[in-house]
Structure formats: C-alpha cells, structure tokens
Amino acid sequence: MTSQVSSPAEQADGTDETVVGAQRKPVGAKDVRRLDRVIIRFAGDSGDGMQLTGDRFTSETASFGNDLSTLPNFPAEIRAPAGTLPGVSSFQLHFADHDILTPGDAPNVLVAMNPAALKANVGDLPRGAEIIVNTDEFTRRAMQKVGYDTSPLEDGSLDGYHLHPVPLTTLTVEALKEFDLSRKEAERSKNMFALGLLSWMYHRPTEGTEKFLRSKFAKKPEIAAANIAAYRAGWNFGETTEDFAVSYEVAPAAAAFPPGTYRNISGNLALAYGLIAASRQTDLPLFLGSYPITPASDILHELSRHKNFGVRTFQAEDEIAGIGAALGAAFGGSLAVTTTSGPGVALKSETIGLAVSLELPLLVVDIQRGGPSTGLPTKTEQADLLQAMYGRNGEAPVPVVAPRTPADCFEAALEAARIAVTYRTPVFLLSDGYLANGSEPWRIPEPDELPDLAVRFAQGPNHTLDDGTEVFWPYQRDPHTLARPWAVPGTPGLEHRIGGIEKQDGTGNISYDPANHDFMVRTRQAKVDGIEVPDLDVDDPDGARTLVLGWGSTYGPITAAVRRIRKEGGRVAQAHLRHLNPFPANLGDILGRYDKVVVPEMNLGQLATLIRAKYLVDAQSYNQVNGMPFKAEQLATVLKEAIDG
Amino acid sequence: MADGNALLQLVPKAEGKQSMKDFKSDQEVRWCPGCGDYAILAAVQGFMPQLGLAKENIVFVSGIGCSSRFPYYMNTYGMHSIHGRAPAIATGLAASRRDLSVWVVTGDGDALSIGGNHLIHALRRNVNLKILLFNNRIYGLTKGQYSPTSEVGKITKSTPMGSLDAPFNPVSLALGAEASFVARTVDSDRKHLTEVLRQAAEHPGTALIEIYQNCNIFNDGAFDALKDREQAEEAVIRLEHGQPIRFGADGAKGVVRDPRTGDLEVVTVTADNEADILVHDAHATSPTTAFALSRLADPDTLHHTPIGVLRSVERPVYDTLMSDQLDTAVEQHGKGDLAALLAGNDTWTVVG
C-alpha cells in the first residue's frame, strides 16, 4: 500500500521473517492456523501457466481483502527450452492482514512444477518453508537436465523443509478422465489443480476464478469445464489428503486500508488508466504513438482497448515513428504519449530534443529494464535515469517524474501530464519492469478527486508591434511559467512555423544570432528549473542522523527496511523522490540536515551522481543491478551499517 | 473543385477569395539563387488559392535538407522537423486532425535515405498526406555528397572514385510500398506541376509526388534531358489517364506491351501497331503496369521518363479507418465512463 510512511499500521511489517502462526480451534479433522502474512512463489516452465496461476491467486487474494504485493519473474523467451533453468518462470505473491510494501524477500511456500523450478528457487527459501513439488516431472532425465544426480525428493537435501510430494499431473489427468480430452490437453490444466490446492490451503474465495475460466474459455466450454474441474479437484485434494494437515487463514487487512472501494492493479494498467484520466482532466484527446517493446507493450495493449474514450493508438513502424507521430499529434492539440523502454528511448532521443525545441507537451513513458543494449528485457532496473536527464544533443532539459509503487503509476501519469501541458515540454515518466508487472491494491479515486488540468490554447494575437499591429508570436512566453503559447492548426490568424533550428526569442523565426542562442538555451533551462513541484517530505520520527534517499520502485523495499530498523530501535530518516528534474526546492536543505545520506538504487549510482554534483553532498551509493528488486532485509543490513558506522 | 473527395470536405473552406500573396510568409527565402525550389514554391503558392482551403487548416511538415526549409515560406501552419521523420510526424497530425490538409515536403536524402522507413510505411497505411519529394539526385545542404537517387559512378566529395550503389527509382519504390497515388513532375514545368498538385490534393489518402528539381550548385543540369526543348520531346513521356501513351515528335513513339513477357517497351508507331499502343489507366486496380511504366526510364540518361500521374486508386484511408474505429467503439460500448473504467469488475469495499 502506498499510504503515509509514518502510519502506525506500517510498523507491523517489521515482524520477523518467519510466519507468525497462532493455533486456532480445529475445524473438522483439519487444523486451521491464522497467519499475519504469507509469501508464496509459483514456479514452473515458461509454458506451464505460472503467470496466469499467480494472477488468479492474486485476484482471489485481492477480493478477499488482504494487502498484497506481487513479483512476476519470467524469461524473455516466449517458450524457453522445456525443463531448463533459464526456462523457469515464477510468480511471487506476498499477502497479509496488514499493510505491506514488497513482494517479500523469501517465500514461505514454493510450488515447483518441475525439477528446474525447484533448483532455480530453492535457494531463496528459508529453512522450514513448505515446498509442493509435482513428482510426475521428477524423472531421472528431467532431474539430470538441471544437474540433479540424485533425486532431491529422496536424497535428504530437502530435509530442512516441509516437503509435499504431489503427483500433480497424474491427479489432474485422473480428475479429467470423464472429459473428451487427450492426455496432453488434460495435463495442461495442472496449473489449475495447483491453484485449487493452494486456494484450499489459504482459504481463498473460488468464485472469481471459476467465473474467469468460464469467460476466458467462453468459446471452448469443454476446456473451461475441464479447467474448473481441475481447479476443484485441487481444492478437494487438499481437503481430503492427509499430507496437508493444516490450512491457513490470513485475515483481511481492513485496518491497513482507509475507507474506500479497492481493486488490485498492476503498474502498467495504472499507468494506462492515468493517461486516460489525464486526457479527461485536460479535455484533450489522447494519442499514443508506440512500438512494441517489453515491458511497455501492455500499455499500448490497454489503451488500444479504450477507443470509446477517444483514445487513438498508433502502432508505428519503429520507435522513432512512434514518438514522431505523437509529436505531430501534440502539434495538433492532442495529449500525446509515447511508451517504450530503454532501447526505445535511445532511438527517440533526437525527437525528444525536437520536442524540447518546439516546446510542445509530450509524455515519454520509459518502462525501464536491464541494459545496456537489449540487456535483460523482462527484468527490472533503474539505469535510464541519466539517459532521461542527459541523453540528447545540446542543452535539452526534460522534466523527469517517477512512480514509486504499481498503483502510484496512476498519479504519476497525471503529474507528468500536468507538467507537460502547463510548461509545454516533453516529460519523462520513469517506471520500471518491477512496477509494470507487479500489482497491489488500489483505492479507486472518484473522478472528481482528480486534479484539474484544463488547458487553454492560444486564441488570438499576443504581441503588439511598434507600429501598433497585433501579431501572434509563437515564442512569446508566459512570464510566470515561461511556457510558450500552444496554438493549434485550425486557429485563424495564428498561422506560424516552428522547427528544430534555433529560434528568435518571441517571433520564433530562425535565428543564428549568438546572443539569442545563449538566451534561448538559458531560457529553456530556466523553464524546466522553474517547474513547480511539491516539497519533498521526510519521514523522520526519531531525529535520525542518517537519511536514506530513494526514487522510483525502490520505495517498497526501502520503506520495509526502514520499518525493520525502527522496530529494532534504530533511527533512520527516509525521503523518496517523485520529481528527479527539477528536484524539489527543499532537497538541498534536507540533504544538509543529515550526517549521512544513503542512496540505494538499481543502477550504479545515477541519482547519487546527480545529487553529489548538484548539492556537493557525500552521498553513499548502495547498488544492485541483478534484474531483481532489493530485498528489505538486505537494505536493512546496509542501512544499519551506515547508521552504526 | 473538390467534390470527388469526401475527405477534402472535412477541411474548412476559405471564406473569401484567396491570392498567391496570402500564402507567402514574411520570411526571406534563402535558397541559392537559381535553385529549382523557387519554382516549386511559386507553383505551390499559386495553387493553394485554387484549392481554396482555409489557410489555418493547412499544415506543411518537412524534415531536413534544402527542400525542408519550405514550410517557413508558406503562410500556413508548419513544422520544420528532423531528418527523415516528417512522414511520421505528419501521420500523427493527420490521423488526429482530419480537418487539416497536411503536406509533407521532403527530398531524396530525407525521404529515401534516412527516412526511407517512414516513407514506405506512410504509403502502405495510406494516411491522408500529400508528400512532395524534391529529387535533385544530390545532397545539397551538406554540400554535395551523392544521394540514394544519384546515378551509379557519381563523382562527389564523398565518392571521388565514383559512387558504388545503385539508385532508388522513387516511383517504383512508392508503387512497391502500396502507394495509392504516385506522380512525377518537373520543377520547371509550372503547368504540369500545378495539375499534378491538383490531382494529388483531391486524392483521398497518401499522394506521393516526385518532383525533379535542379540543384544548380551541386548537380546542375541533372534533368536537362527532360527540359531541353529538343531532347525532351524524345525523353519525356507525358501520361494522361485514358490517352494512348505516345511521345516524340508528332507522337511518333509509343509504348506497347510485349505479349511474350508482359513488360512494356517503346516502339515507333506504325499503322500496324497503332492499335496496340497502351492506353494509360491511372486507376487500374493492379499496380503492375504503373510499375512497368516507372521502369521505362534509363536511370543514366533519363530517356523515356514518364511524368504525370502513374497511379491513382482509391483504397481505405488510415485516418478514416482509425476514426471509424473510435465511432464504432462508442456505438458498441457507449462513450467512455472513467469511473466505471477505473473500478473494473473486481472490487471490494473497506468501510471506515
């Protein structure tokens, strides 16, 4: 959840890593235990449907009212070689009866659909964790493929864990024998069997998944029925088999949520909705120019479904055309957006520079992924910050906004749109793969809660010449914002030409005058520097000497780490930047107040470089670039060292 | 004049009578004295009052190069963008604003080298754009390197021993890219140029006009074969829809189809073969004959260069289809309701 950092409910996340259970009166023959939180990881081949399984469990959990946070993790290949370590796809879900911030460091439960899934994930499990394995896939050959010389199910190597060997494939095929399906077709439902079993273990509601399956396979009722049968068989298996003696309850997180109506939402979906909301609030038609790229494509997909909002989506021939078309639409008065990831930003750089020069509103959404080059397309990273800041020729300042959680992508999109239309500038919105695909509960705002972003196009002359003639000057600036007028084609009398060549101040005519160029460069910079952004909040209840400063998707892990430290009596202050350019006006003062500033980033210290340069602060970087988000425990250790050191 | 094109009806008409002067901006024209661009500018400025559209609804978008300075000289809306990208930018503008008449001005380097990808995709989509491709077969603004339309062996600063790569034929390229309207004209032939502009303006969808344009500084005389009165008679094939394709002194030559290969060839017209002379059909559904016509010209001598409208066919226009989908979505789902969208189907309520 993205509630205030200092809310007392959050302190609960500082509980121990191990699941806290309380014995409860048994129901029937089986024990039911109450837990405050659980971390489950589903893992299998990339063709096993683990993402779907995770999504369904998440939906069930959301509708039950738990707080939750998810971490999908999958290979870039659509169907990586079966049974291999690189082919493993997983989905981690952390859910709780209280406010939580991350998908969790270490799973309490691992569902491993094959030996590769076990091998790839077992190292992340704490001793005592439950492991459910599909024994049907533990053939000699499959085990050898991933380097198991002996069966880990039998050689004692899993003795420290609570192992549940379940022949998931056999049970699924058996459950579906009444259906007119080939064995291969029947086997495909084994993920639903596993989902049913886990749903029983954690008392998840089932109606949603059954409804989902009926709708997903509406055109193949036989397949829908088979999947539902497998799902129910999994549930019943849990209920009847002696191996699963205990089921668990995680109560709804009612206290963690302010009153309101909630849904579960991923970052990319929230971002797409934020863009549609921005279109409504600006009263401008939304135009998306985009080229498919992981992990940004889902925004293109989502916006393409909402043409009844007047949304135009243009799948371009390349990244450059995507932003080019968006810029053309911006010239015509649309709320223009291009969506991409790091490699696409590199290709769009020249057009972003043109947008800086034309001073037209344009949102550049970068869902960051591992780089450089193609890098790690499906993994997360924050290493495009300096590209967003400086990756253009000439002095080409661009405002940068970064969301902190999946649901926050909604508000961040509105904020980026505010800056773009108010200041007539391209704006970077820097999300990342972790936010894009991760999800959490979101309190659905009422449309009248949304900010007013009304735009006024130029309607008439804005300058009087010495001879008294009224004229329109396309680069006559608003004295407060330094924004130039947005005069859209179709407005009589305001015909004007703009371009990437340096323009004379005011008239916008081509000018090679040295003094004018110097003035224009400084003015464009001053416009961006002068963008009004909210002051940075610092969460510092104890008068700490060490500040941890983050930006973007590290918010969850950093906040969880801060809670741990405080729970143990440590003192640490926390601040998290939404605005990377310009920085909040009070950032310098805040940095100056602390003896130590620690900046954790999923790059090699890009924000740290910026603040060291701008504020001459000896910020300490803590970096991780392994394609995965920070773990809270790891950050807590680092922060402790900084505090004690 | 625009009755044939329903799309043109979406663009508001000028209220009063317009003159060429209305389309001249206050900016000093800075092409080299003697440049073919002047003639094209004059022809376009002269044509615009005939088109009769409100000038605030006309937009010229260009890329980079000598020709791309064009928008600065038109008293309409305009954007001088970056190298090669004008078709992409214009696509976004045209697709989002169907009340605008959007023109792209580009050159052989801008359109066919750095921007080749955008050109072919604009053509295949059939966006409602009018693309004026000034082809001078040289790079002018960067001072004289060979271009993707230069003849093989061209000696330039960057190719002192002669260029190695075979040129594009822009008309062939456009036809291959599914263009619905392709024409070729010459800077110095004001009447022909204006007539081609008229047909392009009336065409619903992307119209590509290749304009042979003389660069008197770096490639002077590149099109003399087509301009010199005596030579032109033998070199230029003037295409007119519905007319037999004949040229030369007294129409002594004509184009016939070789029955063996289906290809076209130039023959001397005789009483025997006169009936076989191909009649130009710009509206033919198949682009095959238009393509064959585009291949008649000798890339070195330019002999047998067809000018005029090679192809003009109606097919669905991208911006219309896009707009129709928006209307259909509203018909099917109602106008978008933000509150309903944000709520989705799977919510729960927390009571305070």
CB A563 within 8 A of CB A105: no
Sign of CA dihedral A188, A194, A197, A203: negative
A570 token code pair: 């440590």
Give the integer Cα–Cα distance in Å for A526 and A482.
Answer: 8
pLDDT computed for residue A8 by the predictor: 31
CB A427 within 8 A of CB A420: yes
Could you tell me if B77 lies within 8 Å of chain A, comparing CB atoms? Answer: yes
CB B274 within 8 A of CB B251: no
Sign of CA dihedral A508, A513, A516, A518: positive
pTM (2 decimals)?
A: 0.94
CB contact under 8 Å between B326 and A308, yes or no, is yes
Find residues 343-382 of chain A whose CB sits inside 8 Å of chain B: 350-351, 353-354, 358
Give the integer Cα–Cα distance in Å for A534 and A528.
Answer: 14
Q: Which residue of B has its CA nearest to A407?
A: B342
Buried b (16+ CB within 10 A) or exposed e, B273-295: eeeebbebbbeeeebebbbbbbb
CB contact under 8 Å between A499 and B343, yes or no, is no
Give the integer Cα–Cα distance in Å for A641 and A246.
Answer: 40
Apex CA A78: angle with CA A73 and CA A81, to 5°? 95
pLDDT class of A29 with cuts at 50, 70, 90: low
Q: In chain A, what residues touch B80 (CB-CB under 8 Å)?
A: 497-501
pLDDT computed for residue B2 by the predictor: 38
| pLDDT value at A22 more than 50 | no
What 3-state class would DSSP assign to A372? coil
CA neighbor of A296 nearest in space, from A354, A242, A348, A231: A348
pLDDT tens digits along B304-334: 999 999 999 999 999 999 999 999 999 999 9
Could you tell me if B85 lies within 8 Å of chain A, comparing CB atoms? Answer: yes
Q: Which fold, B1-222+316-352?
A: Rossmann fold (3.40.50)
Give the integer Cα–Cα distance in Å for A307 and A312.
Answer: 6
Q: What is the DSSP string of A382-447?
A: -TTHHHHHH-SSSS----EE--SSTTHHHHHHHHHHHHHHHHT-EEEEEEEHHHHH-EEEEEPPPG
CB contact under 8 Å between B347 and A263, yes or no, is yes
Mutation target among A283, A303, A311, A497 for the B interface, most CBs of B within 10 A: A497
pLDDT tens digits along B285-295: 999 999 999 99
Apex CA A345: angle with CA A344 and CA A351, to 5°? 110
Residue A322, C-beta contacts closer than 8 angstroms, at least 6 positions apart: A289, A290, A291, A314, A316, A338, A339, A340, A344, A348
CB A132 within 8 A of CB A197: yes
| pLDDT value at A18 more than 70 | no
Distance from CA of B86 to the nearest CA of A (A): 8
CB contact under 8 Å between B81 and A354, yes or no, is yes
Residue type at B175 in one-letter notation:
L
What 3-state class would DSSP assign to A68? strand
Q: For B26-178, where are the alpha helices, taking DSSP H only?
A: 36-51, 86-96, 108-109, 116-125, 170-176
Q: In chain B, what residues touch A272 (CB-CB under 8 Å)?
A: none
Question: Nearest 5°: phi and psi at A548?
Answer: -105, 125
Could you name the CATH architecture of A262-449? Answer: 3-Layer(aba) Sandwich (3.40)
Q: In chain B, what residues touch A501 (CB-CB under 8 Å)?
A: 80
pLDDT class of B45 with cuts at 50, 70, 90: very high
DSSP annotation of A95: E
Of A320, A329, A498, the CB nearest to B96: A329
Instruction: Measure CA A460 to chain center.
Output: 43
Distance from CA of B8 to the nearest CA of A (A): 14
CB B68 within 8 A of CB B106: yes
CB B237 within 8 A of CB B304: yes
**CB under 8 Å, gap of 24 or more: what pairs does B289-293 form?**
B289/B257, B289/B264, B290/B175, B290/B182, B291/B172, B291/B175, B291/B176, B292/B262, B292/B263, B292/B264, B293/B237, B293/B239, B293/B245, B293/B255, B293/B264
Instruction: Measure CA A65 to chain center.
Output: 21
Distance from CA of B91 to the nearest CA of A (A): 6
Residue A401, C-beta contacts closer than 8 angstroms, at least 6 positions apart: A412, A415, A416, A419, A427, A428, A429, A430, A578, A579, A580
The residues with which A539 forms a beta bridge, in sequence order, are A574
CB A619 within 8 A of CB A548: no
A271 token code pair: 């971002």
| pLDDT value at B77 more than 70 | yes
The residue extents of the domains of chain B are 1-222+316-352, 223-305
Q: Which residue of B has its CA nearest to A253?
A: B350
CB contact under 8 Å between A257 and B350, yes or no, is yes
B260 token code pair: 């063996």
Strands (E), chain B: 58-62, 77-80, 101-107, 129-135, 181-186, 207-212, 236-238, 246-247, 253-257, 264-268, 305-312, 347-350
Sheet holding A162-166, edge to edge: A67-73, A88-96, A37-45, A109-112, A130-134, A162-166
Mutation target among A495, A498, A507 for the B interface, most CBs of B within 10 A: A495
Of B27, B88, B338, the CB nearest to A280: B338
CB A88 within 8 A of CB A123: no
Could you tell me if A331 lies within 8 Å of chain B, comparing CB atoms? Answer: yes
Q: In chain B, what residues touch A311 (CB-CB under 8 Å)?
A: 326
Q: In chain B, what residues touch A310 (CB-CB under 8 Å)?
A: 326, 336
CB contact under 8 Å between B91 and A325, yes or no, is yes
CB contact under 8 Å between A262 and B350, yes or no, is yes
Give the integer Cα–Cα distance in Å for A85 and A455.
Answer: 52
Q: In chain B, what residues touch A473 (CB-CB under 8 Å)?
A: none
Q: Which residue of B has its CA nearest to A314?
A: B92
Distance from CA of A263 to the nearest CA of B (A): 5
What percent of chain A is modeled with pLDDT above 90? 91
pLDDT tens digits along A466-478: 999 999 999 999 9
Of A309, A353, A489, the CB nearest to B56: A489
Could you tell me if A317 lies within 8 Å of chain B, comparing CB atoms? Answer: yes
Average pLDDT of chain A is 94
Find residues 175-204 of chain B whose CB sits inside 8 Å of chain A: none
Q: A113, exposed or middle or buried, with CB in 10 Å at 0-12, 13-18, 19+?
A: buried
Give the integer Cα–Cα distance in Å for A643 and A303.
Answer: 46
pLDDT computed for residue A28 by the predictor: 53
ipTM of the complex: 0.97
Mutation target among B82, B124, B126, B325 for the A interface, most CBs of A within 10 A: B82
CB A538 within 8 A of CB A547: yes
Sign of CA dihedral A293, A299, A302, A306: negative
Identical topology for domains A22-247 and A538-644: no
The residue extents of the domains of chain A are 22-247, 262-449, 456-532, 538-644
The residues with which B134 forms a beta bridge, in sequence order, are B107, B211
Could you tell me if A316 lies within 8 Å of chain B, comparing CB atoms? Answer: yes
Q: What is the CA radius of gyration of chain B?
A: 23
Distance from CA of A165 to the nearest CA of B (A): 34
pLDDT class of A142 with cuts at 50, 70, 90: very high
CB B148 within 8 A of CB B113: yes
Buried b (16+ CB within 10 A) or exposed e, B316-329: ebbbbebbeebeeb
Could you tell me if B160 lies within 8 Å of chain A, comparing CB atoms? Answer: no
Apex CA A381: angle with CA A377 and CA A382, to 5°? 135
Distance from CA of B331 to the nearest CA of A (A): 8
The residues with which A365 forms a beta bridge, in sequence order, are A339, A429
CA neighbor of A230 nearest in space, from A185, A279, A297: A185
Distance from CA of B175 to the nearest CA of A (A): 18
Could you tell me if A259 lies within 8 Å of chain B, comparing CB atoms? Answer: yes
| pLDDT value at A26 more than 50 | no
A436 token code pair: 């894009």
pLDDT class of A9 with cuts at 50, 70, 90: very low
CB A474 within 8 A of CB A496: yes
CATH superfamily of A22-247: Pyruvate-ferredoxin oxidoreductase, PFOR, domain III (3.40.920.10)
CB contact under 8 Å between B54 and A497, yes or no, is no
Give the integer Cα–Cα distance in Å for A263 and A270.
Answer: 11
Distance from CA of B297 to the nearest CA of A (A): 31
CB contact under 8 Å between A494 and B56, yes or no, is yes
pLDDT computed for residue A6 by the predictor: 33
Give the relative orientation of helices A168-175 and A190-201 as an angle to the nearest 10 degrees: 100
Of A263, A287, A501, the CB nearest to B346: A263
pLDDT computed for residue A135 by the predictor: 97
pLDDT tens digits along A347-361: 999 999 999 999 999
Q: Which residue of A has its CA nearest to B57?
A: A490
User: Could you give the C-alpha distances from A644 to A288, A472, A541, A608, in angstroms and in order?
Assistant: 49, 63, 18, 21
Higher-scoring residue by pLDDT: B4, A126: A126
pLDDT tens digits along A253-286: 988 889 999 999 999 999 999 999 999 999 999 9
| pLDDT value at B352 more than 80 | no
Mutation target among B24, B346, B351 for the A interface, most CBs of A within 10 A: B346
pLDDT tens digits along A549-574: 999 999 999 999 999 999 999 999 99
pLDDT tens digits along B181-216: 999 999 999 999 999 999 999 999 999 999 999 999
Q: In chain B, what residues touch A509 (CB-CB under 8 Å)?
A: 27
| pLDDT value at A204 more than 50 | yes
Give the integer Cα–Cα distance in Å for B70 and B66.
Answer: 8
| pLDDT value at A1 more than 60 | no
Give the integer Cα–Cα distance in Å for B82 and B64.
Answer: 6
CATH number for the region A538-644 comes to 3.40.50.920
CB contact under 8 Å between A320 and B57, yes or no, is no
Find residues 305-334 of chain B whose CB sits inside 8 Å of chain A: 322, 325-326, 328-330, 332-334
Mutation target among A308, A312, A459, A509 for the B interface, most CBs of B within 10 A: A308
Could you tell me if B238 lies within 8 Å of chain A, comparing CB atoms? Answer: no
Q: For B228-286, where are the alpha helices, taking DSSP H only?
A: 229-235
pLDDT computed for residue B3 by the predictor: 42
Q: Which residue of B has its CA nearest to A337?
A: B92
Of B82, B97, B343, the CB nearest to A263: B343
Task: Specify the DSSP element, H or E, that contains B56.
Answer: none
